[in-house]
Structures are given as structure tokens and as C-alpha cells.
Amino acid sequence: MARRRAMSSDRAREVRARGHKDAMEFALLIGLPRDYKNNPQAKKDVIDHNGDAHSVKSGSEWRQIFLYSPNRIKNDYAFAAMNGVGQLIEECLNCFPLDRSVYLADKPIYKRKLEKPMKEICDKLQDKPRLAAFLATSFFNGEEARFLTIKHDDIYHIFYHKNVIDTLRAHFTIANSVAMRSGEFDNQKVLFKLNGKNAGELEVRNDSDVHYREIKFRLNKLKILNLLQLRITLKDEPSLVNGAKVAGKIVRYGAAIKKFKE
């Protein structure tokens, strides 16, 4: 697997700003007022007229689903209830010393410590109901958000949360990463694969003083969108927004056709 460079702080700010802009565009498309305010700390990127929340994903190919600190994981009862998954994530983070300079002085020691809990998380997520619980918590914080809305090529594709979880659970295979070159170590990540190709990663982020000892889950937006479109075959035509048809801007799939009404 090719190594990806850590995103710079400036680039990260640009990505966040673009995400907020796209969420606002979607809010306006479905008739919300221009002074609409969302909750950037939650999964509720947009709350529609029905009071239902949308987790909006747009922008680049790889999209962050969550980036959590040790305290965030420790206090999340949903992760804790997954038969040890939350505790194993905590263990992964605790493999690394509090002082990043200590980690940088001898990375191999701590990477070797990480292998065991990462392997155990992979084993836990082989269980399909547990995998579904992990995905539901990661994407939707349980049912805090009811819809996954993905922007691609200037179109907003809307999927109902249960359709998303059922589809991903059925088609993901879970594996650990394998060292590809000298000096690397096995089992540094949990990989989420589609048709044998990597479509997602759960990893510990240690690339800067700002992002150190954090657990990151990210997925390939295009691969996920393609899978959902392929497997959730029922879709509607662009619907009426404020009395006018928005050509090609909003498409609903599966249960979202009835569940999301503008």
C-alpha cells in the first residue's frame, strides 16, 4: 500500500472550509434559510425541515469519518459496548508515550506494541453485527444522523443510514495492514476492503504535535459511493425544491426516497 503524506494544517483548514461550504449549499438546496447554523462538532452537518440530520461528505477522494482523542474514545459508551472494541482502541492509543519526543526517539518500540491490539480489533470486526455497530457509531453516532449525503460531480446523493450500514457490512472484508518495505511493521492499521482493494483505514495518528495519539477512521469516498449506487439500485429523479426542479442536484436512493421529503 502506498504511503500517504500527512495533511498540512493549512490544507486541513481548506478541506474543513470546503466541507462547511458544501454543507451550506446542500442546506440551501433543500430550502433552509441562509442564516442556517449547523453543529460542526457533531455528525449533524445539516438538519432538514423534518428535523432529520444529514452527515454530508464531499471534497477529495479520501474522507475522514472520525478523528478521536483518548478521552473521546474512553467516554463513548457505544464503542465500549462493542465487546471490547472501544477498550482495544484505547489500548492502541496507550501504546504510545504521552511525550511525542519519546516516541520519535525510538518509533519501532511503540510500533511493535501496537501490533497486538490492532490485530485484536481486526479479529473483533470479523463479526458482522459488531462491524455494523462500529459503522453505525462511526458514520451516524448511532442514529444522531439519519442520512449519509455524498457530494460528487456537483450532485448530492442521499442514502438512508440503515441502507448504508447494511450494504457496507455485507461487502466489507476486514484485514490488517502488511509491511511493504524494510523498516515497516505489520498490523499497524485495520483495513476495510472491497473486492480485495483497500477502501478504508483505522489507524493511530502520530504525525504532528497537534495530532498525536489520536485514532483516525477514513474511507475512500468514491469507492463507497460506487458501492452504494450499485447495491441500492432504487433511485428517484431530482425532486422539487421550493417549487422548482433542481436538475441533477439531488438524488435519493432506497429508503431515502420515502424517508427524506423536502
Q: For the whole model, what pTM was predicted?
A: 0.88
Domain presence at residue 3: no
Domain presence at residue 105: yes
Domain presence at residue 184: yes
Q: What is the pLDDT of residue 20?
A: 77
CA dist 206 and 212 (Å) reads 4
List beta partners, residue 220. 62
CB of 245 closer than 8 Å to CB of 228: no
**Domain carrying residue 235:** 9-259
Q: Say which residue, 30 or 35, is predicted with more confidence.
A: 30
Domain presence at residue 186: yes
Residue 142: pLDDT over 70: yes
Domain presence at residue 2: no
Number of domains in the chain: 1
Domain presence at residue 195: yes
Mean per-residue pLDDT of the chain: 88
User: What pLDDT digit, counting tens, does each position of 65-111 carry?
Assistant: 999 999 999 999 899 899 999 999 999 999 999 999 999 999 999 99
Domain presence at residue 217: yes
Domain presence at residue 42: yes
Residue 244: pLDDT over 60: no
Q: What Cα–Cα distance (Å) separates residue 111 from each residue in 61, 97, 99, 116, 248?
A: 27, 11, 15, 10, 47
Q: What is the pLDDT of residue 110?
A: 98
Give the lowest-confidence range in 72-76, 189-193, 233-237, 243-247: 243-247
Residue 34: pLDDT over 60: yes
